[in-house]
A = this chain, B = another copy of it.
Amino acid sequence: MQAAGTDRPATIHDIAAMCGVAASTVSRALSTPERVNIRTRARIEAAAAELNYTPNSQAKALSSGRTGAVGVLVPDITNPFYFDLIRGTQLQLKAAGYTQLLVDTEESDEVEASTLEQLRKSADGIIVAASRLSDESLLAAAARIPMVTINRDVAGVPAVIIDTPSATSQALDHLISLGHSRVAYIAGPLTSQSSERRWAALTEAAQDRGVEVRSLGPFAPKTQSGAAAADAAVHSGVTACIAFNDLIAIGMLQRLRERGIRVPEEMSIVGCDDIFGADFCNPPLTTMASPIEQAGRVAVSMLLAQLNPLAGGGIRNRSVMPTHLTVRSSTASARNS
């Protein structure tokens, strides 16, 4: 049964007319119930239910200054790494009554910057994954709107860091224990801080252990780049590779298979992120597994803590997510040569 009347969504004015009170009373009854007589409130709530009232979020945003939306920026929606991240943010945001505005910044700093500017008015806060912006730009943006970054460490900007660097040295130890002594790091984009941090951790660990590592690349974080990466690795004479991420690693697997180079017998491959597909590619990929969905949730929690400072605990401005090595079948003993 629908109430008779127009098809247009009900407003507080409709409710007010129905109950014979002022619109402001309706607004109060719904947002600050304790400031309105309990019987009046009951009448208003009944009328609201009957009219199937839902507040107009635009109007609410305009008058209150809060939009109830949070922007989530990722460099590439089709990268499976972000699947779980997005799901994590989506679930947590919905639970808190926020709407997620998802934007693909196409790995471009310009798109990212203009999106940031636009979102400044239409979102209450922003979560930026794997930002391609400079530290200065990011810091400036964070000063204008509450922000949490993921995998981007800039002083003064709250961040969730997935601790792949420490897993990187685990991966190196794993390879060393298998007898490898010449290892390549397949680098990601130059603008990626994650790639930089991993390489730094790797060179340091290599020095400690007395093995040789070299960096190849940079390569775009896509499976298609895997072919070039594989060729470069073979040419460089290493027996094992640690790839910037699973996409590249999977691409390498495909290329090596095409070239008849057996994995792991002739070349060991370690990926990063444990994305969808890492467990069923051929061979299944040894990789550094990250709690990605959880990272998304934590980022949302940190952002909401900024938005509603009253509610409970203090603001954490840095959260490090542990990462561990998951060994599958793409790594094995170095061949005797």
A177 within 8 A of B: no
Using A86-B77, A276-B80, A282-B282 as known contacts, say yes or no to A58 and B56 having CB atoms under 8 A apart: no
| Contact of B54 with A77 in the complex, beta carbons under 8 Å | no
Neighbouring B residues of A86 by C-beta, 8 Å: 77, 102
Complexed CA–CA distance, A83 and B117 (Å)? 26
In the complex, A72 Cα to B86 Cα: how many Å? 14
Which of B58, B77, B279 contacts A62, CB < 8 Å?
Answer: B58
A90 proximal to B (CB < 8 A): yes
- Chain B residues lying within 8 Å of A52, measured Cβ to Cβ, are 117
Question: A282 to B52, alpha carbons, bound, how many Å?
Answer: 52
Which residues does chain B contribute within 8 Å of A78, judged by CB atoms? 83-84, 87, 276
- A144 interface hit (Cβ, 8 Å): yes
Within 8 A of B (CB), among A44-77: 52, 54, 56-59, 61-62, 67, 77
User: With the chains together, A67 CA to B62 CA distance in Å?
Assistant: 13
Chain B residue, CB-CB nearest to A144: B7
Whether A83 pairs with B90 at a CB distance below 8 angstroms is no
Q: How far is the CA of A7 from the CA of B9 in the complex (A)?
A: 36
A333 at the interface (CB under 8 A from B): no
**A142 on the B face (CB < 8 A):** no
A100 interface neighbour in B61, B84, B102, B277, Cβ under 8 Å: B102
A54 and B173 alpha carbons, distance in the complex (Å) = 52
Distance in angstroms between the alpha carbons of A63 and B254 in the assembled complex: 55
Contact of A14 with B by CB under 8 A: no
**Pick from B61, B91, B283: contact of A58, CB under 8 Å:** B61
Q: Which of A29-37, A118-126, A178-186, A236-244 participates in binding chain B?
A: A118-126
Q: Which residues of B contact A83 (CB under 8 A)?
A: 77-78, 80, 83
User: Are A9 and B120 within 8 A (Cβ)?
Assistant: yes
Within the complex, which residue of B99, B144, B223, B280 is in contact with A253, where a contact is CB–CB below 8 Å? Answer: B280
Chain B residues within 8 Å of A253, by CB? 280
Q: Does A128 contact B (CB under 8 A)?
A: no
Closest 6 CB pairs of A and B: A282-B282, A277-B277, A58-B61, A102-B102, A58-B62, A78-B83
Q: Which residues of A contact B (CB under 8 A)?
A: 7, 9, 52, 54, 56-59, 61-62, 67, 77-78, 80, 83-84, 86-87, 90-91, 99-104, 117-118, 120-122, 144, 223, 250, 253-254, 276-277, 279-283
Beyond A250-B280, A277-B280, A280-B281: 15 further Cβ-contacts under 8 Å? A56-B121, A57-B121, A58-B61, A58-B62, A58-B67, A59-B62, A91-B104, A99-B101, A99-B122, A100-B103, A223-B280, A253-B280, A276-B277, A277-B277, A282-B282
